[in-house]
Amino acid sequence: MQDPTKYLAKMLKTLRKEHGLSLDGAATKTGISKAMLGQIERGESSPTTATLWKIATGFNTSISSLTEPIPEGAEETLIRDADEVRQLARGDGTMVAPLFPYEQRFGFEYMELTFLAGFERLSEAHEPGVVEYITVISGSMEVFVDDIWHDLQPGKSIRFRGDKPHGYRNKTDEDTVTLSVIHYPRRP
């Protein structure tokens, strides 16, 4: 598996060039400072999930497309092991395993997300049309949607608009493991 920091550096530079943007222009588009974007592009910084979301939203792309390429053999039966692709998001309190990264033909990405004990984050709205689905596998957590914290126990699922502010928290002393589908709007 390719080093996620190096892959992100390459993808950010590619996206910036495809959009004809300088670092200043990319900073305006994403809401991330020019200095931070420069560090990411040089592979000197491993950003938090919140920062990745800002980049993905600014460039109208999926979060998983920033962290790894579409797996080889995507046309065939494909088996992925979360233990092999799981990454700790630095300073973020989550672990992310992109089980099936975004493919345009499907319109979604499928991930295992682990919210570490004590985790809490309010998330800004993603691009218009994004819908998130979360199912708790083990542990418990709360999801903030429509100004309400919804309690989720193992086996419970929630679907909500990711294009509105929302949040996640794990107030327990144990990590919570979830499966998440993030569906993106149709793109031309």
Q: Determine, yes or no, domain membership for 77.
A: no
Please give the model's pTM, rounded to 2 decimal places: 0.77
For tokens 């309400």, the residue is: 148
Q: Find all residues with CB under 8 Å of 78, minimum gap 6, and list them.
A: 71, 100
Q: Determine, yes or no, domain membership for 76.
A: no
Number of structural domains, the chain? 2
Q: Are 98 and 20 in a shared domain?
A: no
Positive or negative torsion for Cα 1, 168, 181, 112: positive
Q: Are 98 and 62 in a shared domain?
A: no
* Structural domain for 99, as ranges: 82-183
For residue 105, the model assigns a pLDDT of 83
Of 67, 91, 113, which residue sits at a domain end? 67
For residue 187, the model assigns a pLDDT of 61
Q: Determine, yes or no, domain membership for 161.
A: yes
Binned at pLDDT 50, 70 and 90, residue 177 comes out as very high
Whichever domain contains 152, its CATH number is: 2.60.120.10
- Tens of pLDDT, residue by residue over 109-147, are 999 999 999 999 998 898 899 999 999 999 999 999 999
Positive or negative torsion for Cα 2, 111, 131, 107: positive
Output the average pLDDT for the chain: 88
**Smallest Cα–Cα separation from 66: which of 125, 4, 110?**
4
Rounded Cα–Cα distance for residues 124 and 121 (Å): 10
- Tens of pLDDT, residue by residue over 21-45, are 999 999 999 999 999 999 999 988 8
